[in-house]
Structure 1
Amino acid sequence: MRIFRRSSVAALIASLVLEAASAQAGPSFGGQVSAVLDGDSITVVDAGQREVQVRLVQIDAPEFGQADWQASRQSLSELLLGRTVTVEGVDADRYGRVVGRVWRDGTDASLEQVRRGMAWVYRQYAADQAYFRAEEDARKERRGLWSRPHPVPPWRFRHRAETGASRFQRSPSKSTAKCGAKRRCAEMVSCEEARFYLLRCGVKSLDRDGDGIPCEELC
C-alpha cells in the first residue's frame, strides 16, 4: 500500500485546484457578478451556475487595511456588481482564481479602475501601454488614491505585512498561505485568518452583511 506524506497530499490538492482554474482560464466565458471582494477580485456565476473566483488582470488594488481599500472595492462594485460580464481568462493564480480581463458592455474593468485612480498598474504582470497611460493621467489629475501625498502600492504594503507577520505565519495553529476547507466564522482562529479566507479564498459566507469585514465577532 502506497503511503503519502501530508505535504504530498497538500501539494496534490493544490495542483488539482490550479488545474481546475486553468481549465476555466483558457477560453472566454460569461456570467453575472455575484460579489466584489476587493478592488481587483470578483465572483462570477457562469452559465453552469458555478461560482468562479476572478482576479482582474494587470492591476493591483489597495489591500484590506489600506486607506483606499473600501473606495476601490466600492468603485468596482458600482461598475460590475450584479452585471453580466465576459471574462477573457489568461491564467490561474496560486489561490486557484482565474486571472483575466473582465468586460462589461465594452468596458475593460481593469482599465476603468486604473482610470478612476482606484488601482495601480501591476508592473510585474502588465504589458498593455494603455494601462500605464491611464495611470499617468489619473496621477496628474489626482483622482482616487492619487489624491493622497504618498500612496503606498499594494505589493509594498503586502511585503510589510508579511515581514511583520512572520511569527504569525510560523505558528501551526494559525492560517497559512493556502486556502483550506473552512467556511464558517466558528472555524476561524483569528481576524487575520478570516480576512484571508474572505479576500483571497472568496468565502463570502464570512461577510453576511456585505460590508467587507468578515466575522465581526473576531474583527
Structure 2
Amino acid sequence: MPSSPITALLLSLATPLGAAAELSCRVIEVADGDSFACLTADHRLERIRLQAIDAPENGQPFGQHARQNLATLLLERPVTVRWEQHDRDGQIFGSVWVSPPDCPACGHTLDAGAAQLAAGMAWWLGEQAPQTEQERERYRFEEHEARARRTGLWQDAEPLPPWEWRGP
C-alpha cells in the first residue's frame, strides 16, 4: 500500500485537542462505507468519518456494499464517537461504537471500523493511523482475516484502493 496518500490524509488532520472527546448521537444518514451523519440530543448535526479505515467510494466496485454494510450496523441507532481530530473536510474523525445487532442490551461494544474491516468492506490505513497499538493489532488482524477468507472486496483478485481510484 502506498504511504503517500495515507500520509497526506493524516497530515491534513487538524491538531489534536489533547484529550479524547466523546460524543453520543443517533445516526440519521450513511454517506458511504466510512462516513455518516448523526444528530446529538440537542439536535446538532455532526458529520463523522471512521478513523483508520478507507472504504471504497460509492461509484467504485463494492462501494455500495460497503455503504449498505455500514448502514446495517449504524442507521437509526445510537452510537458513541470517541475522537480527538477533525479531518480535512471538517468531519469528526474518530472511532465509532454501537451495540452489536444481535445484542442491543450489550451497550456500545462493537467498533464499527473493525466491523467494516472484518466484513471485507474497507482497507486499514496502516501503521500511520492514529490508533493505540492494541487498536492497530485488532484492525490489522481483521483486515488480514477478511483477505484470507476472500470476503467482501477481497473477492476481487486485485481490488483497487479508494485512494488510487480517486486519483491525485
Of structures 1 and 2, the larger Rg is shown by 1
Check if 1:135 corresponds to 2:138: no
Q: Deviations over 1:17-64 (max 9, x none)?
A: x79xx77x9410101000000000010101211110000011000013
What amino acid sits opposite 1:142 in the alignment? R
The SS at the match of 2:154 is: helix
Q: 1:63-212, aligned counterparts within 5 Å?
A: 63-105=57-99, 106-123=109-126, 124-125=128-129, 127=131, 128-159=136-167, 162=168
1:43–1:53 contact (8 Å) kept in structure 2: yes
- Distance in 2, matches of 1:120 and 1:28, equals 25
Percent identical = 40
Distance 2:48 2:114 in 1: 15
Does structure 2 conserve the Cα–Cα contact (< 8 Å) formed by 1:36 and 1:77?
yes
Partner of 1:45: 39
TM-score normalised to structure 2 length: 0.78
Whether the aligned pair in 2 keeps the contact of 1:62 and 1:72 (CA below 8 Å) is yes
Rounded to whole Å, the distance in 1 between the matches of 2:150 and 2:41 is 40
TM-superposed deviation, 1:126: 5.4
Distance 1:45 1:73 in 2: 19
Give the TM-score, by structure 1 length. 0.60
The structure whose residues are more often helix, as a share, is 1
Distance 1:119 1:148 in 2: 13
| Cα distance in 2, alignment partners of residues 37 and 91 from structure 1 | 19
Aligned with 2:58: secondary structure? coil
Contact 2:58 2:67 in 1 (8 A): no
Aligned residues: CA RMSD: 1.8
Higher relative contact order (CA 8 A, sep 6+): 2
Distance in 2 between residues matched to 1:122 and 1:156, nearest whole Å: 13
Determine which structure has the larger strand proportion and give its number: 2
| Partner SS state of residue 25, structure 2 | strand
Match of 1:57 in 2: 51
Return the alpha-carbon distance in structure 2 between the equivalents of residues 51 and 114 of structure 1.
Answer: 26
The alignment partner of 1:44 has SS state of: strand
Contact 1:59–1:126 (CA under 8 A) maintained in structure 2? no
Q: 1:32 aligns with which of 14, 17, 26?
A: 26
Aligned residue identity for 1:121: W
